[in-house]
Chain A
């Protein structure tokens, strides 16, 4: 049991810190904070309310993420927890933090481009292995709802691209 600080602002910061330890079950190098899944943290007296938003409508990881948030907060002494799912505003890959995008690249997934340069995407996606931009699309649909499948024409490695959304 950790001492729960009485100051609301400090406590909210503590909770954000705890949430940074919760990772995405499909892409374990990313935390739910990196992904922009956590939209808000609110403290109502003893209750902690965490608002989360799904990345994709049918993301099967959402239930597990909610459970993991609960566990992480419980481990840190918070017992009254409310997790709310919000759909609006709609999640966008623009909310993935710069650190998150760096982590994705190192993990072997090409990070999403900004939604602003979506139209020119084929020229800017980089192979996460050899950094070549000589790549082609294999399929818009990959191993999970959020990824497309590409192949690098230089090093020949196929790789996942986190779809721009």
Chain B
């Protein structure tokens, strides 16, 4: 598969897997309004994923002269295997407690906000349009997460210690967000992909600001896990896909 398609799948997979993770909160949120909030974010991400998958499917079908079975958004989401998924490791990490879910979303939304800001200038008009549209929604995600990180970091001794635990659990998965995969490197010069390396400083600065408001310590330099963008995942992705893809694998082609 070509770099362009891989890049779009990477963007789609990030959104789909985080959407799936957040949707695990449905019916389990700490209070009704927050249950609704996290599942709203989940839905927004699912919408992004659909747009990207539809576009990837269109390009795949164009690039194959006589496809036996045309690609669709559903095939891409439900029938690819673990090694074909190109999402970052961060989004597949377990929900943990509410604090860990919030922190994962905060790290990711801050990154996605910066990414889409740049992607809306992509020379690929469809990617630019999806990014511009989603950016309006991501702006709300960023605001919501920020409030929660401050509330928990600055809250009680219990909430503060849980945030410290969340930082320990997640920080080493943030480095990968800013390392370009091969498909990204190939598209940077064409003006299609965003050079994620260039987002790092601003992301760090934004996280620092919120952490200092939340009285949370800035994490030390640690070893950073990578591999998700190339299809090498933590053990969690397999379990996520087992649940996510269950229906289509058990009843192939089923619709309702």
Q: Closest residue of chain B to A57, judged by CB?
A: B47
Contacts of B242 in A (CB 8 A): none
Quote the shortest CB–CB distance from A37 to chain B (angstroms).
14
A149 at the interface (CB under 8 A from B): yes
A65 at the interface (CB under 8 A from B): no
A62 to B48, CA, bound (A): 14
* Residue in B40, B41, B51, B144 with the greatest tally of chain A CB atoms within 10 Å: B40
User: Do A58 and B33 touch across chains, with their CB atoms under 8 A apart?
Assistant: no
Contacts of B43 in A (CB 8 A): 58, 60, 145
Q: Closest residue of chain A to B47, judged by CB?
A: A58
Number of interface residues of B (CB under 8 A): 27
A138 to B34, CA, bound (A): 10
User: Do A56 and B137 touch across chains, with their CB atoms under 8 A apart?
Assistant: yes
* Count: A-B pairs, CB below 8 Å: 64
Contacts of B134 in A (CB 8 A): 57
User: Do A88 and B129 touch across chains, with their CB atoms under 8 A apart?
Assistant: yes
A57 to B48, CA, bound (A): 6
A59 to B137, CA, bound (A): 12
A139 at the interface (CB under 8 A from B): yes
A54 to B44, CA, bound (A): 12
User: Do B40 and A141 touch across chains, with their CB atoms under 8 A apart?
Assistant: yes
Contacts of A163 in B (CB 8 A): 140
Q: Closest residue of chain A to B147, judged by CB?
A: A140
A57 to B138, CA, bound (A): 11
* Residue in B37, B41, B43 with the greatest tally of chain A CB atoms within 10 Å: B43
Q: A57-B51, A140-B140 are in contact. Are A87 and B130 (CB under 8 A)?
A: yes
User: Do B44 and A56 touch across chains, with their CB atoms under 8 A apart?
Assistant: yes
User: Do A149 and B33 touch across chains, with their CB atoms under 8 A apart?
Assistant: yes
Chain B residues touching A, majority SS: helix
Q: Closest residue of chain A to B125, judged by CB?
A: A88
B212 at the interface (CB under 8 A from A): no
A143 at the interface (CB under 8 A from B): yes
Query: B212-238 interface mask toward A, CB cutoff 8 Å, 1 = contact, 0 = none?
Result: 000000000000000000000000000
Number of interface residues of A (CB under 8 A): 20
Quote the shortest CB–CB distance from A159 to chain B (angstroms).
14
Contacts of A60 in B (CB 8 A): 43
Q: Closest residue of chain A to B36, judged by CB?
A: A141
Contacts of B144 in A (CB 8 A): 140-141
A67 at the interface (CB under 8 A from B): no
Contacts of A141 in B (CB 8 A): 33, 36-37, 40-41, 140, 144
User: Do A140 and B37 touch across chains, with their CB atoms under 8 A apart?
Assistant: yes
User: Do B136 and A87 touch across chains, with their CB atoms under 8 A apart?
Assistant: no
* Residue in B44, B45, B143, B144 with the greatest tally of chain A CB atoms within 10 Å: B44
A88 to B128, CA, bound (A): 9
A142 at the interface (CB under 8 A from B): yes
A1 at the interface (CB under 8 A from B): no
B126 at the interface (CB under 8 A from A): yes
B50 at the interface (CB under 8 A from A): yes
A136 at the interface (CB under 8 A from B): no
User: Do B37 and A88 touch across chains, with their CB atoms under 8 A apart?
Assistant: no
A90 at the interface (CB under 8 A from B): yes
Query: A59-71 interface mask toward B, CB cutoff 8 Å, 1 = contact, 0 = none?
Result: 1100000000000
A51 to B140, CA, bound (A): 27
User: Do B132 and A90 touch across chains, with their CB atoms under 8 A apart?
Assistant: yes
Q: Name the 6 nearest CB pairs between A and B, nearest first.
A: A58-B47, A57-B47, A88-B129, A87-B129, A141-B37, A141-B40
What would 12 A/B residue contacts be, using CB atoms closer than 8 Å?
A57-B47, A57-B133, A58-B45, A58-B46, A87-B130, A88-B132, A90-B133, A139-B33, A140-B143, A141-B36, A145-B43, A165-B136
